[in-house]
């Protein structure tokens, strides 16, 4: 018989990192810092002093959007400068997402972004978890939620003009999305993580639709 899973707890915490200096490198649409630091080592003692550039972005929320009654999934499509050189082009198929402002909860941000980016009002929101997209160089933490709504009339182009958003809504049968999950069109981690969770939980959600 296999033993129950025991989570591996990290041996060190934030106080085991000493920040010697911080330097602002860039402040624009994003921010970058240069940190000089040292940290404790697994075999004892401290590391040598080192420099690390940090991409400062802050917390975000990504939203899987599901209609359990009609068994459909809502996705959005928009231009992304980081995908300029992708063979399929820089218009990415994604889940709704947004940045968390001070004192906002992930659930509140999810509801706000659904209205702005998809024109959809969520009936309910279920929190899934969080992850760091690129902790080697960026401090962004991404919270993942699933929102439930009637998508039978979710259509059109949405987004905020002041943020230069031009976002198209797609509503697809859930099985079509899952059958093409790894075909390359869904080429970002946020979408894959949210949709993989939805794929695993779809039977439960269909049997007992959230209200």
What is the set of active-site residues?
163
Sequence-distant (6+) residues with CB within 8 A of 93 are 75, 76, 77, 170, 185, 186, 187, 191
Write the Ramachandran bin of 206: left for phi over 0, alpha for psi from -120 to 50, otherwise beta.
alpha
CA 107 to chain centre: 13
- Which secondary structure element, helix H or strand E, spans residue 51, and what is its range? strand 50-56
From 112, 116, 137, select the one nearest 57 (Cα to Cα).
137
CA-only gyration radius of the chain, Å? 20
Q: Counting every residue, how long is the chain?
A: 211
Instruction: Outline where the chain has alpha helix (H).
Output: 106-118, 174-179, 189-207
């Amino acid at each position: 018989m296999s033993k129950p899973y025991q989570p591996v707890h990290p041996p060190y915490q934030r106080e085991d990192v000493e920040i010697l200096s911080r330097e602002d490198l860039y402040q624009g649409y994003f921010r970058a810092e240069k940190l000089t630091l040292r940290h404790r080592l697994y075999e004892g003692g401290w590391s040598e002093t080192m420099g690390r550039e940090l991409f400062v972005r802050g917390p975000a929320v990504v939203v899987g959007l599901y209609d359990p009654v009609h068994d459909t999934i809502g996705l959005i499509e928009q231009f992304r400068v980081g995908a300029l050189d992708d063979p399929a082009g820089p218009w990415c198929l994604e889940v709704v997402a947004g940045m968390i402002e001070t004192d906002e909860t992930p659930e509140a941000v999810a509801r706000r972004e659904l209205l702005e980016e998809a024109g959809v009002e969520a009936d309910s929101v279920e929190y899934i978890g969080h992850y760091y997209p690129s902790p080697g160089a960026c401090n962004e933490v991404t919270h993942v939620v699933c929102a439930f709504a009637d998508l039978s009339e979710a259509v059109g182009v949405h987004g905020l003009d002041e943020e230069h958003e031009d976002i198209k809504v797609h509503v697809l049968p859930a099985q079509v999305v899952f059958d093409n999950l790894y075909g390359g069109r869904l080429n970002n981690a946020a979408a894959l993580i949210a949709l993989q969770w939805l794929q695993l939980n779809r039977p439960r959600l269909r049997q007992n639709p959230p209200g």
